[in-house]
Amino acid sequence: MRLTDPVADMLARIRNSIQARHQKVDIPASNLKIEIARILKEEGYIASFKPLEEEGHKLLRVYLKYDPSNAAVITNLRRVSRPGCRVYVGRTEIPRVLGGLGINILTTPRGVMTGRQARREGVGGELLCEVW
């Protein structure tokens, strides 16, 4: 089965694993998903991640993060730009997520970065998702 939206699949797997209180989740790997995981780790939303290979398939193992009261650090993830409706923003139009409490992830000509980094570097791009 071919996925039409691999990023939405990644976000759904993370969301489902958090609700089921899993410690880790395996996702079919791609360079874009590895970059998204890198940003989630840098911003403190996941504990860690590592690319693996099992039976010839590339996997991305994401270790989820919970606070001391066992509440998930990620409250929600939302896909913004979809294959059927791409959402592009200029450098001045990058929205703030929950008044700055969350992050958005963009693909820009300079690579995958958070909305804050893109604003600082003065670049726009495709608004992939929002995390809070």
Q: What is the CATH number of the domain that holds 93?
A: 3.30.1490.10
Element (H, E) at 112: strand 111-114
Kindly state the average pLDDT of the residues 58-77. 96
Instruction: Note whether residue 1 is domain-resident.
Output: no
What average pLDDT does the structure give for the chain? 96
| φ and ψ of 28, to 5 deg | -55, 130
112 has pLDDT over 80: yes
Instruction: Note whether residue 112 is domain-resident.
Output: yes
Considering the chain, what percentage of its residues have pLDDT values greater than 90? Answer: 97
Instruction: Note whether residue 125 is domain-resident.
Output: yes
| Helix, coil or strand: residue 126 | strand
Residue range(s) defining the domain that contains residue 75? 6-131
Whole-number Å distance between alpha carbons of 122 and 117? 8
Could you give the number of structural domains in the chain?
A: 1
1 has pLDDT over 70: no
Instruction: Note whether residue 18 is domain-resident.
Output: yes
Instruction: Note whether residue 17 is domain-resident.
Output: yes
